[in-house]
Amino acid sequence: MNQENLLKIALAQIAPVWLNKDKTIDKIKSAIVDAGKKKCNLIVFSEALLPGYPFWLSLTDGSKFNSGIQKEIHAHYIRNSVQIENGDLQTICLLAKEHNIAIYLGIVERAKDRGGHSLYCSLVYIDSTGEIRSIHRKLQPTYEERLTWAAGDGNGLQVHQLKQFTIGGLNCWENWMPLARTALYALGENLHIAVWPGCKRNTEDITKFIAKESRSFVVSVSGIMRVKDFPANTPHLDKILKNAPETIANGGSCIAGPDGEWIVEPVIDKEDLIISTIDFNRVLEERQNFDPVGHYSRPDVTKLIVNRQRQSIIDILDD
């Protein structure tokens, strides 16, 4: 087998130290080191892992207007979110370079270019030299997520070369958005990364569907969240846990091949570094009879326009 065709991938199905940025970074770094020692080329982490998904919203009447409880938890969330411009990901980038491994990492971003107070669900790609190559802010937060996350833009709809693969990624239910998927397909994507907060019911259908639609490999990575993963100093922890099941997010990380069949079936109810090697030649084989943006497309009839400008409330024009 041609080694140049092969890509070794680690799916980091782990739990955060919920809403604790520093301790969650420590867990992320440990997973990177482990994957690096195993000679993986790519490691993928779940949606909003750093510092954690906003599970409290559905457990504590998150839509109650002007609630002191919601404001206090939200403020705690902001304080533990990621400011890339301040170097919050620097140690992770250094590990990527040290271990020659690329990284997709789901973060909650406190974006300075949008004032520094609103939060975005972002998917960051760090290449194997330790450089941040794209930051994709989730286009449309889902349902209760809109109570704490702002809507993103198209700037991060980008793909990256990794060995023979062209990789791109989307957050959670963005993967159900056909035009967002199509934008990545049209850029040449043949390895699709889908990140999720953690639930088998989210990954078991869409992962295989995207693979069959795109004739690409699809890697879905989910998180784990249990009652024991909430730190004792979480604001209003008693109210959050009152209605919380023992397991809130059960994982479901998996890989489907370009024919839509399982390479790794969904893994549930355990923290694990799931490792698999994929062969680029399988993409070429499956594109023989279907290519959604190539020989099986009609751009003279239907065509997509993508705005990749980073959106901001201000344009400064200095002399």
**Tens digit of pLDDT for each residue in 62-78?**
999 999 999 999 999 99
Kindly name the residue from 27, 138, 200, 208 that is annotated as catalytic. Answer: 138
DSSP structure string for 160-203: EEETTEEEEEEEGGGGG-HHHHHHHHHTT--EEEEE-SS-HHHH
Kindly name the residue from 21, 27, 40, 47 that is annotated as catalytic. Answer: 47
Supply the pTM of this predicted model: 0.96
DSSP structure string for 59-94: TTTTT-TT-HHHHHHHHHHHHTSB-GGGTTTHHHHH
Q: pLDDT of 252-308, one tens digit each?
A: 999 999 999 999 999 999 999 999 999 999 999 999 999 999 999 999 999 999 999
Region 5-15: mean pLDDT is 97
More confident residue, 157 or 3: 157
Q: What is the mean pLDDT of the chain?
A: 96
Report how far apart, in Å, the C-alpha atoms of 38 and of each of 92, 128, 164, 278 are. 17, 15, 20, 15
> Please, which residues have CB within 8 angstroms of residue 233's CB and are 6 or more apart in sequence?
none
**Residue-range domains of the chain with CATH:** 3-286 (3.60.110.10)
Torsion sign (Cα): 306, 312, 314, 318 = negative
Q: Given this model, what pLDDT does residue 173 score?
A: 97
Using a pLDDT cut of 90, give the percent of the chain over it.
96
Q: Given this model, what pLDDT does residue 1 score?
A: 56
The β-bridge relationship of strands 262-268 and 165-171 is: unpaired
121: annotated active-site residue: no
Region 5-16: mean pLDDT is 97
Q: pLDDT of 305-319, one tens digit each?
A: 999 999 999 888 987
Nearest to 224 by CA among 178, 270, 181: 270
261: annotated active-site residue: no
Q: pLDDT of 144-192, one tens digit each?
A: 999 999 999 999 999 999 999 999 999 999 999 999 999 999 999 999 9
Q: Given this model, what pLDDT does residue 2 score?
A: 67
Q: pLDDT of 179-210, one tens digit each?
A: 999 999 999 999 999 999 999 999 999 999 99
User: For residues 316 and 29, what is the distance between their CA atoms, to the nearest angstrom?
Assistant: 38
93: annotated active-site residue: no
Kindly name the residue from 172, 189, 199, 213 that is annotated as catalytic. Answer: 172
